[in-house]
Amino acid sequence: MSQATQRRRYALVGTGNRGTTMWGRELLNGWSEYVELVGICDVNLMRAERARTMIGSDAPLYANFDRMMAELRPDLVIVCTPDDTHDDIIVRALEGGADVISEKPLTTTREKIARIRDAEARTGRRVDVSFNYRFSPTASRIKELIEEGAIGDITSVDFHWYLDNQHGADYFRRWHAFTARSGSLFVHKATHHFDLLNWYLDSDPVEVKSFAQLLHYGRNGPFRGPRCKLCPHKIECPYYLDLAADPFLDALYEDPSTVDGYVRDACVFREEIDIPDTMTATIRYRNNVQVSYSLNTYMPIEGHHIAFNGHKGRIELRQFEKQPWTEPPADKILLVKSFGGGVERIWIPHEPGGHYGGDNRMRDMIFKPGSNDRLRQRAGSRAGAMSVLCGIAALESAREGGTVEIDPLAVW
């Protein structure tokens, strides 16, 4: 068999930023030995056309997913559309005989999870979920330490994630700002964090108690406009986004917005925004670990803090991503042993690429034959589902009060 016929023939669905970069241009630049892009689908053909040029491909464009599946019969479909559309596309891809890589979150509701899990079982195809944070060098090292028993059995985790007022605000400019589209950031964003916890702890969450409020964006703003480009408050608004200053985003979103009205710079202070921006949750795991979690979306810093507390010690990481001071080009994990065992400072150099190098490592794991998954980093639909179930339960707890149980059997 020639090398060209061994490559996986993949179709890309959704040509926004993520599809165009991670699963388009970058994938073809680094992994073309293993994959061949055979088709590109987006309901907005102007965006798809521009994305195809940016990717550097001559694959045919489709607005109709089913037609693409019927004509091209791809081996693999990579789903990069808004979260609430993932389930339909995943199910139709599986039924069309393809494996799937779904961007996170797998989906947004319990019913949609059940549909995807059912289709996967019925068709015998595989769904991967792109949990790139599992592959970051710091996460990999922490997982090794936990598995080596460096701090004994873990009893609790402190986990706090900070989005800065650029990255955090971005979720309030677009479809993510509506629970019906993203499941809220407890699903859309925290799916990464809940998945990290599930994977680190090798257990399932069983109950969640949370609080979540909209305290900064949306109706809290002092003024608002339709979108930054047309806003009378450009001068005084700290969230003013000049899309034209970013040629990549401008080309991908501005002219194509004339096709579907999807603007990239909608006002972060729109009255109708209905997701929380400030969230905390307490989670109990099946193995009795207790987790204290928070997510904030308007900080002057970006990064996270995680600490694992065990019978024999503590593992701690403060991961710096952006802050108004300089940090060394490496991350420091502190391994502190109880009873006078002292401290070990484990330095992990930064790796190039998105998500601390996790994006590249994940693509290697998925596409390079014979990759050794000794830390069980490659995530499937069960992992995708469990982290979303935790987010759904957290949102329910915040909105309705009380503790919400997560019953995986309800969707299995």
* Residues of the shown chain interacting with ligand NAD in the complex, contacts defined by CB under 6 A: 13-19, 41-44, 47, 65, 80-83, 85, 103-104, 130, 132, 188, 355
- Nearest-approach distance from CB 260 to ligand NAD, in angstroms: 6
Whichever of 81 and 377 has its CB closer to ligand NAD, that residue is 81
Which of residues 207 and 246 has its CB atom nearest to ligand NAD in the complex?
A: 246
User: Looking at beta carbons only, is 129 or 333 nearer to ligand NAD?
Assistant: 129
DSSP string, 289-357: -EEEEEEEEEESSEEEEEEEEETTEEEEEEEEEE-SS---SEEEEEEEETTTTEEEEEEEE--SSTGGG
In the bound complex, what is the minimum distance in angstroms from residue 244's beta carbon to ligand NAD? 17
Phi, psi of 352, deg, nearest 5 = -70, 160
**Minimal distance, residue 401 CB to ligand NAD, in Å:** 28
Q: Kindly write down the DSSP assignment for every residue of 31-97, as one continuous string.
A: HTTTEEEEEEE-S-HHHHHHHHHHHT--PPEES-HHHHHHHH--SEEEE-S-GGGHHHHHHHHHHTT
Single-letter amino acid, residue 301 = I
Q: 183 vs 310, which CB is nearer to ligand NAD? A: 183
Residue 348 β-bridge partners:
331
Taking the complex as a whole, the smallest distance from the CB of residue 171 to ligand NAD amounts, in Å, to 10
Which of residues 101 and 404 has its CB atom nearest to ligand NAD in the complex?
A: 101
**Measured from the CB atom, is 7 or 47 closer to ligand NAD?**
47
Q: State in angstroms the smallest separation of the CB of 45 from ligand NAD.
A: 9
Residue type, 159: F
Contact 12, 37 (CB under 8 A): yes
How far is Cα 278 from Cα 407, in angstroms, rounded to an integer?
25
Would you call 129 helix, strand, or coil by DSSP? Answer: strand
Q: Please report, as a single letter, which amino acid is at residue 376.
A: R
Shortest distance in whole angstroms from residue 132 CB to ligand NAD: 5
- Residue number with CB closer to ligand NAD (7 or 192): 192
Bond preceding residue 329 cis, omega within 30 of 0: no
β-pairing, 154-164 vs 404-405, is: unpaired
CB of 208 to ligand NAD, least distance (A): 21
Distance CA 76, CA 176 (A): 26
How far apart are alpha carbons 265 and 253 in whole angstroms?
9
Taking CB positions, which residue lies at the least distance from ligand NAD? 16
Distances (CA, A) of 107 to 62, 117, 150, 306: 23, 11, 35, 26
What strand order describes the sheet that includes 76-79?
A: 61-62, 35-41, 8-13, 76-79, 99-102, 127-129
Q: Find out whether 210 and 282 touch, Cβ atoms under 8 Å.
A: yes
Work out how close the CB of 19 gets to ligand NAD at its nearest, in angstroms, rounded to a whole number.
Answer: 6
- How many Cβ atoms sit within 10 Å of the Cβ of residue 46? 15
Q: How far is the CB of 397 from ligand NAD (least distance, A)?
A: 23
Q: Which is nearer to ligand NAD, 71 or 405 (CB)?
A: 71
Cβ-based nearer residue to ligand NAD, 65 or 194? 65
d(CA 361, CA 198) in angstroms, rounded, equals 20
Number of residues that this document lists for the chain: 412
Q: Which is nearer to ligand NAD, 289 or 379 (CB)?
A: 379
- Residue 42 CB, shortest distance to ligand NAD, in Å, is 4
